[in-house]
Amino acid sequence: MSVRQCERMKVGDYEVISDLGVGGMGTVRLARAPTGRCVVLKQPHPGDPSLNELLVDEARVGLRLKHPHIVETRDFFEHDGQPVLVVAYVSGASLADLRNQGPLPMPVVCRIGRQIASALDAIHKATDPQGRPLNVVHRDVTPANIMVGHDGNAR
């Protein structure tokens, strides 16, 4: 094995641990921040400027949102000419994965519903630094995109 193969891949200051998935927009990776905490890196597929713009918009909004049921946006930078969005890692499972294990108890469904409704309310009321509405609408609220942490909180 060459020295190059032994080195961990770095994206900016973040050490990539593993790929989490590839979707229509880009690649999602688990990484370790310089602080030692796990984070998620989102990078658009190369060569499509519209995907870059979508990630820039996601970062612009995400950096403005601070809510206990919204995954925290931690960083945004450019690496090798591509934008990279860094968000907090949520240790847990998606709501889709939990549903696949069987029906959830009604109190759990109600708690998750309240938490996600609160997060969506915060997103819809988000403003820019001058207090103007950002007019954000989350267009992909699905069980696969709702993470339920080991702490029991939905994001």
Instruction: Kindly report, residue by residue over 52-91, the tens digit of the pLDDT.
Output: 999 999 999 999 999 999 999 999 999 999 999 999 999 9
For 24-30, the CB contacts below 8 A with 24+ separation are 25/51, 25/54, 25/55, 26/51, 26/55, 30/89
- List the structure tokens of 78: 């450019």
Residues 115, 131: Cα–Cα separation, whole Å:
24
The pTM (predicted TM-score) of the whole model is 0.88
Average pLDDT, the chain: 92
Beta-carbon contacts of residue 114 (< 8 Å; ≥ 6 apart): none
Cα–chain center distance at 137: 16
Catalytic residue ranges = 140
